[in-house]
Structures are given as C-alpha cells and as structure tokens.
Amino acid sequence: MAVASTWSWRLKANARRLQTHALKRETNEAIIIDYASSVLDACSHVHHLPKAHALLISSGLYCSHSLVAKFILSASSLGHLQHALNLFDGIPQPNVFLYNNLIRCHSHHGSFSGVLRFYNQMLWRGISPDGFTFPPVLKACGCLPDAQTGRAVHSQVLRLGYESDLFILNGLIAMYAKSGAIASACKMFDRLEERNVVSWTSVISGFAQNGLALQALRLFREMRRCSSDVRQDFVSLVSVLKAYTDVEDLGQGSSVQGLVIKGGFEDEPDLLITLTAMYAKCGQVLAAKSLFDLVLQPDVILWNAMISGYVKNGCCHEAVELFRRMIARNVRPDSITIRSAISACAQVGSLEVGRWMGDYTARTEYGDDVFVNTALIDMYSKCGSLAQAHQVFDAIPCKDVVVWSAIIAGYGLHGRGHEAIDLFHRMRDAGVRPNDVTFIGLLSACNHTGLVEEGWKYFHCMRELGIEARHQHYACVVDLLARAGHVEEAYKFIRSMPMEPEVTVWGALLNACNIYGYVDLGQHAANRIFALDPSTLNAGHYVQLSNIYASAGMWNDAAKVRVMMKAKGVTKDIALSLI
C-alpha cells in the first residue's frame, strides 16, 4: 500500500510539473507572439523590416499565418513587397488567407501581373480560392487587360458557387468592360437581380472607355430614372463627363457639374481633370483654366488636359508658356505632355521655340520615343527646317508607317514631290505597308508640285492596296486637277465620288474656279458649300465667289455677296505674316 501510494504521489507530482512547464511554455509563446506583433505594428521605416523578419525567423514564428499576414501588410504599406515575398517563400504550407493578403497587396500597388502569378501558384498548390480572392484577380484581368484569363477566372467563380455574390459579379462586369468585351459585360449586367451603384458604374464606364459615348449617356439616364435609391458616385460622373466630352455636348456636360457639386465631389482629382478636359475640348479654355487654377498641386494628367486643350483651340502660345511653367515647377512631363507641347510649337511656327523643344526632349527619357520623334518630324517640317526633320527621321532605328508618313507629308508641305515619291518607294522596299494617312501626304506632295499623272496613279494605287479613299484624298485629287487647269475634269471627278462631297472638296473646286474664271461652276460650288454649312463664317469662300463675279464684270452679284457677308457678320481678316 505504501509503495502504491508513493508511486501515485510521484505520478501526480510529475503531472503537475508537466502542466506547469506547459503553462510556462504557452505563456512564453504568447509573450513572444505579442512582442512580435507589437514589433510589426511599430514598423514605420523600410529599415525596420529586416529586423522584424529576423525576429520571426529566430523565434520560430515564421509559420504563424497571422503574423506573416501582418508582416505582408507592413511591407506593402512601406512600398517594399519584396521583403514580404522573402518571408512568404519560406512558409512550408501557406493557406488561402496568406495568398489573399499577398494578392491584395500586389493589386494595391498596381502589380497586376504579380496578382495573376500568385493566383496561378495558389491553384497549382491545390489551394481553393474564396470570395476574397476573386475581386483583386478580376481587377487585374481587366487592367492588363487579359480577357482570356478573365474568362477562366469566371468559370472558376461558377464552379465554386460564387455566382450570386454581387461583389464578385460586379468585378466580372468591370473586368469584361475594361477588356473590351462590352457585350459580355452587358449580358452579365442584364442578368443581375440586384444592382448597386458599382454595377451601373461598371457598365457606364465600360461604354465610355470603349468609345460608346451615346450608350454610356443612355444608361446613366436610365440609372437615374429607374434606380432612385442608387446614388451616383464620382466614378460614374467621371465616365459621363468623358462621354459628353467625346460628343462635345457642353450644355449637358455643364449640367453634370451641378451633380458634382451636389455630391460633394468638387475636390476629386479625376473629376477636375475630366471637367477641365471637357471645357477645353469644347472651346471654353477660360472655364477650363479657372478649374485648373483651383488645384494647388496639379498632377501631370491635369497639366496634360490643360495643355492639350490650349493646342486644340489654337492657343498655342499659351500652351508653350504653360509647358514652361510646368517644367519650372519641377513637374515631370510624360510622353503625352511632350507631344502636346511639340504640336503647339508646330502651330506657332517658330523654329527657335521648336529647337528649344527638341533640345529639351533629347535630355529626357523620351528622346527615343517613336511617337515623340514623329511629332518632332512634323514640327520641324512645319517650322521650315526640313533638314532637321530628316535628321530626326534618320535617327529612328525602327521606322513604322507613322514615321514614314510624317516625313513624306513634310516633303509634300515643302513642295518637294519627287523626294516624297522617292521616300514612298523606299518605305515599300523596307516592307512597311502604307495606310490612308500616308496617301494623304503623298497626294498632297503631288498636288503642291503639280505632278498630275503621278497623283492620279497613286490615287488608284490605294484601291489596289485595299485602302478606302476618304474625303481628304478626294479633296487632294480635286485640288490637283483643278490647280493644273483641268477644272471640268475635277467637277466630273466630284460627281463620280461614292459619298456626298464635303466642304473641303467643294472648296478646292471653288478656288480653281476663282483662278481660271469658271463663273457658273464657281457659283455652283459656293452654293454647295453654303448648303452644307449654312452657319459658316469662313470669309474665304465668300471672297472667292465675290472675286469670280468681279473678274467677270458681274458687279451687282459681287455686291450681293458683300451684303450677304455683312448680314451674317462675316469679316475678312487682315493679312498677316509669320515673319
């Protein structure tokens, strides 16, 4: 009995000792976990991350999913995801929670290829995604865009039974819309039993981004009419303003500004950029500038909207000055800014300003940008320095059709048609297929040099290459024939056009009638111009018709034209010289 009692006492004592050790170990682990968690919370600089990483490794807590997730978020907030990846790669069995954190952080930083990479890695490891996985993955598919991968993710959504999750369905709609598959986005939208503001905005934005402005506006009106409980957000307002900008409907676009103010979105940068672009594109540069001046620190997109607005409305001196202000404020321009500024220099026609722009461009990372160099070719040509234009052309290693078209147009502008034709053949020999813009430059070159037979040949060459002629091509041929004295042939050519001639075509014929004294035909051309554009204030057409009458001694008719000009408020500009 004594021996049994002794053994029983010893067993109980050992059990108490083990429980005490276990409690101490659990307590120590809890203390270490709390300490590690507080260290991660205190990470405020990138230099803290390696120390936190070392603590997790040395304490054996690198397998704690909650601490690893916190480390990933800390590294992401400090902009150094690579530290998070170094720790993540050492985890033997990561779960869906960790992958979701890693995917979401990559999405937050715009690393959409990284999002898809870890999504595929998760599937390869046999880890099933959940409802938190799909939204950032679908966003990545839409932003890349990668519709094929998006459709594969869509099938995974259906297979796992998330087809009724509105948050995921909205992500699918946005993905299809951003990928250009607007029909698929509309089908999903039509199937929704419940629609929130994100659902409507995704489709409206998709229409606007894919150039379907009228459809975007129709759907916006439908949203406001049918869904009174859905309050438009600033994303939908940005899309609607963009649509009104595309159709250049300033009246309706201005009314949306009231919704912007009513919704309290006046300080949203995207809305200010879109409003500025709308007013600038619709010719209200003063209103655009007033909005631009409201922003204390405009970003490069807002600078671009204002500069390009100035260029579009012919305020090119203001565009150049604004570009100088941008540089002085140490705002880094992008390719769009530089191209807009170069275009402004081309319209100003100042070779000195153009050379300054070329020197500035050469010092930036866009010195080898093919689009920037194409703009420089056009600018130097219009500023009178064909030699510098050709110098830029020769420096471009891989010349595409846009580059070739620019230099051909430059030679045509200077009346050097034979060199333009030679460049056209060199382009063909280099294996570059011409497009409709190439032929506009080529026909213009033939026109300015009086190469009638060559121009006629290259016009028919377009048909052989399967390029459909546009109004600009027909206008070039009419001007080519008419300038050479073949006025009646030019009129016959106009009558054979497969589409209704526009003002530019009749204007070319009217100019020739003025030169060669074709009264009846000139009167017919002028009447067609006034019928096509009754509100035209172009004094040149009226003056040419008046001159035709005066040259023929028809003074009463010439006086009637002058009276008509006065009644419509058309004034003849005083002659100016850039020199």
Q: Where are the domains of the chain?
A: 195-296, 470-579
Classify burial at 254, counting beta carbons within 10 Å of its beta carbon; exposed 0-12, middle 13-18, buried 19 or more: middle
**For the segment 183-200, what is each residue's pLDDT rounded down to a tens digit?**
888 888 888 888 888 888
pLDDT at residue 423 tops 90: yes
* Candidate from 27-31, 46-50, 351-355, 502-506 with smallest mean pLDDT: 27-31
| pLDDT value of position 21 | 43
Q: How does DSSP classify residue 276?
A: H
**Per the structure block, which two tokens stand in for 356?**
């300054």
Average the pLDDT over 197-224 and give the result: 84
pLDDT of residue 71: 59
Note if the pTM is more than 0.95. Answer: no
Question: In angstroms, what CA-CA distances link 188 with 12, 193, 209, 214, 344?
Answer: 68, 10, 18, 20, 45
Mean pLDDT comparison of 83-87, 280-284, 444-448, 536-540, highest-scoring range:
444-448
Q: Which residue has the higher pLDDT, 86 or 394?
A: 394
d(CA 230, CA 560): 60
- CB-based contact 86:53 (threshold 8 Å): yes
Q: For residue 352, how many other CB atoms are within 10 A of its CB? A: 10
Least confident of 10-14, 333-337, 448-452: 10-14
pLDDT tops 70 at residue 577: no
**What percent of the chain has a predicted confidence (pLDDT) above 90?**
12
On the 0-12 / 13-18 / 19+ scale of CB atoms within 10 A, 541 is buried
Q: How confident is the model at residue 533 (pLDDT cuts 50, 70, 90)?
A: confident
C-beta of residue 176 within 8 angstroms of C-beta of residue 153 = no
Range with the largest mean pLDDT of 68-77, 212-221, 374-383: 374-383
Task: Return the top range by mean pLDDT from 81-90, 255-264, 356-365, 534-543.
Answer: 356-365
pLDDT at 20: 47
pLDDT of the residue at 69: 61
In the chain, % of residues over pLDDT 70: 79
Identify the CA nearest to 392 among candidates 382, 413, 402, 407: 407
Q: For residues 544 and 561, what is the distance between their CA atoms, to the nearest angstrom?
A: 10
Residue 64, both tokens: 């704690």
For residue 573, the model assigns a pLDDT of 58
pLDDT at residue 44 greater than cutoff 70: no
8 A C-beta contact, residue 203 and residue 185: yes
Between residues 15 and 275, which one has the greater pLDDT? 275
Cα 569 to its chain centre, rounded Å, is 39
Count CB-CB contacts under 10 A for residue 172: 27
Q: Distance of CA 146 to CAs 33, 70, 143, Å?
A: 41, 30, 8
Q: Is 42 helix (H, G, I), strand (E, B) or coil?
A: coil
- Give the pLDDT confidence score for residue 67 in this predicted structure: 59
What is the fold, at CATH topology level, of the domain defined by 470-579? 1.25.40
When the candidates are 1.25.40, 1.20.1550, 2.60.120, 3.40.50, the CATH number that belongs to 195-296 is 1.25.40
Question: For 369, what's the count of Cα atoms within 13 Å in the CB-facing half-sphere?
Answer: 18
The distance from CA 412 to its chain's CA centroid, rounded to whole angstroms, is: 30
CB 422 within 8 A of CB 391: no
- What pLDDT is recorded for position 380? 92
The answer on pLDDT for 122 being more than 80 is: yes
Is residue 540 within 8 Å of residue 518, measured between CB atoms? no
Question: Residue 74: its pLDDT value, please?
Answer: 60
Residue owning tokens 């409507």: 200
Q: Determine how many CB atoms are found less than 10 A away from the CB of residue 368.
A: 12
Question: Is 25 a residue whose pLDDT tops 50?
Answer: no
Q: Which residue has the higher pLDDT, 79 or 514?
A: 514
User: Using one digit for the tens of pLDDT, what is the confidence trace for 156-180?
Assistant: 888 888 888 888 888 888 888 888 8
Query: How many Å apart are CA 71 and CA 53, to the nearest integer?
Result: 8
pLDDT higher than threshold 90 for residue 377: yes
Q: What is the mean pLDDT of the chain?
A: 79
Unique residue bearing structure tokens 């101490």: 24
Query: Which band of pLDDT confidence, cut at 50, 70 and 90, is reported for residue 54?
Result: low
Residue 531 clears pLDDT 50, i.e. is over it = yes
Q: At what angle do helices 112-124 and 96-108 cross, to 10 degrees?
A: 170
Residue-level pLDDT at 41: 53
Q: By the 8 A CB rule, do 411 and 378 touch?
A: no
Domains 195-296 and 470-579 share a fold: yes
Q: Which of 162-176, 426-440, 536-550, 562-576 has the lowest mean pLDDT?
A: 562-576
**If you average pLDDT over residues 227-254, what whole number do you get?**
75
Above 70 in pLDDT, residue 66? no
Distance CA 73, CA 67 (A): 10
| For residues 370-374, average pLDDT | 90
Q: Rounded to an integer, what is the distance from CA 450 to the centroid of its chain?
A: 40
* pLDDT higher than threshold 60 for residue 46: no
CB neighbour class for 432 (10 Å; exposed up to 12, middle 13-18, buried from 19): middle
45 pLDDT more than 70: no
Q: What is the pLDDT of residue 23?
A: 40
- State residue 321's pLDDT score: 92
426 vs 336: CA distance, rounded Å: 30
Q: How far is CA 578 from CA 192, 354, 384, 560, in A?
A: 61, 15, 12, 33
Is the pLDDT confidence value at 442 over 60? yes
